[in-house]
Structure 1
Amino acid sequence: MSTDRETVWSYDTVAAEYAAEAAVMPEWVAAEMDAFVTELGGSGRMLEIGSGGGRDALELEKRGISVRRTDISEGFVELLRKSGFEADLSDPLTEDLVDPQRPGTSYDGVWACACLIHVAREDFGTVLARLAEATRTGGRLHASVREGEGEDVSTHGSAAAPRRYVETYWREPTLRSALTDAGWIVSEIRRCVGKPHDRWLSVRATRA
């Protein structure tokens, strides 16, 4: 599996609480979203990896983008469905990424905000390559990972339930190489800061 099972369990357990915590979009994510939508020309069909509570998908749809919501956490998928949205339980390492609404048609873009941090380093290139295969030539990618060395176990968040998230950290040169090897042309990797000591590498790339 691409994601540690206890990480998935942690999200399943606190899906609603996590969605409430993450309801307000950080400024750096909003800026990346605006750039992503501009690069797509304000329209298109997009695959979202790690939809979580659905915040980003809603904002993308407000900007004119059609979104396929997916998540590896059953808790998040159930939450989205209860809210009236179509959502698919999907692991991008192992599941078929074909769009059920448009079989045989590639996505115009992939949005993977703050979710690939949970992909094991040895699986990261495979996931990026599978996302590239599902995207049309010239399609766009947004992905963000934590900047740093190695990996760690995080217990961040304020929801009452216990949490344990395995997170993999990246440096720009290694991240850029992984993207290029997987079939993406990197336009830019931006350094973004959320909360104090919360450093992100935010990728803007095009399907080769």
Structure 2
Amino acid sequence: MPQQKRRDGNEPADAQRAHWEQTYTTHPVMYGEDPSDAARYAVDAFRAVGATRVLELGAGHGRDALYFARRGFTVRAFDFSESGLEQLREAAGRLGVAERVTTAVHDVRDPLPLPDDSVDAVFAHMLLCMALSTREIHALTGEIRRVLRPGGRLVHTVRHTGDAHYNAGTAHGDGIFEHGGFAVHFFDRALVDSLAAGWFLDEVYAFEEGDLPRRLWRITQTLPPRSDG
């Protein structure tokens, strides 16, 4: 397991951490209790590679983590909001799945506090397109690769450069724009492909979500099995 390393300053990301903590405190269960469409898809995608151990990054108040647990997966749920994770734990108790869910407050700019090859699947709904620099996104994808076992699968969603908020609001550089207090790193296809180098890129699926609507890609990529040599 890697040691925590000092991060370079990232003012938009630091501000977003405080923003989300306040948001989850002020608006409990803000996204409702129904799972996202991406999570519904991920259940079958994960089962197809024999996954039982799922890591969710950016779990928030837990609507997707709880859905995975109800579908029989063992779930580790990470988020940088203690308020959101507290809501997740309370809901897990009510739903009778507390024994299948563990939580940890974690900033994804730091190394993941997990051993190598320790999970079968990773899910991240709009986490990689938070206010992270390109360098930080690549580092996080490297950490995901480290903790996934060979043949494991990553399903993540990102807002892309076809979204209405791209090039709108406050520009922070490196593809990051802030609108209404919410900062997003908008992905182009070149970034998707670079993050999938060395993986099997199974699918890049375009979809819309919310009232704007937000325009996203759902990306499925799988680690190759380890070679015998």
Question: Where on the TM-score scale, by shorter chain, does this alignment land: which range?
Answer: 0.7 to 0.9
Q: Which runs of 5 or more structure 1 residues have no equivalent in the other structure?
A: 156-163
* TM-score normalised to structure 1 length: 0.81
Q: Which residue of 2 aligns with 1:53?
A: 61
Residue-by-residue CA offset, 1:4-51 (whole Å, 9 max, x unaligned): 11111111012145553311547632542243233233x511111011
Alignment partners' CA distance in 1, 2:188 and 2:88:
33
Contact 1:28 1:192 (8 Å CA) reproduced: no
Matched, 1:40 2:49: yes
Does 1 or 2 have the higher relative contact order (CA < 8 Å, sep 6+)? 1
Q: 1:165 to 1:31 in 2, by over 3 A?
A: same
Root-mean-square deviation (CA, aligned residues, Å) is 2.4
In the alignment of these two chains, the number of paired residues is 193
In structure 2, the CA distance between the partners of 1:133 and 1:153, relative to structure 1 (3 Å rule), is same
Q: Distance in 1 between matches of 2:148 and 2:36?
A: 27
- Structure 2: distance between partners of 1:16 and 1:113: 20
Contact 1:184 1:205 in 2 (8 A): yes
Q: Percent identity?
A: 23
- Structure 2 residues not aligned, in runs of 5+: 1-6, 167-174, 225-229
TM-score normalised by structure 2 residue count: 0.74
Tell me if structure 2 keeps the 8 A contact 1:106–1:134.
yes
Which has the higher Rg, Structure 1 or Structure 2? 2
Deviation at 1:174, TM superposition (A): 2.4
Aligned 1:159-198 pairs, distance under 5 A: 164-180=181-197, 183-195=198-210, 196-198=212-214
Question: In structure 2, do the counterparts of structure 1 residues 48 and 27 end up closer, same or farther at CA, with 3 Å as the change threshold?
Answer: closer
Contact 2:55/2:76 (8 A) holds in 1: yes
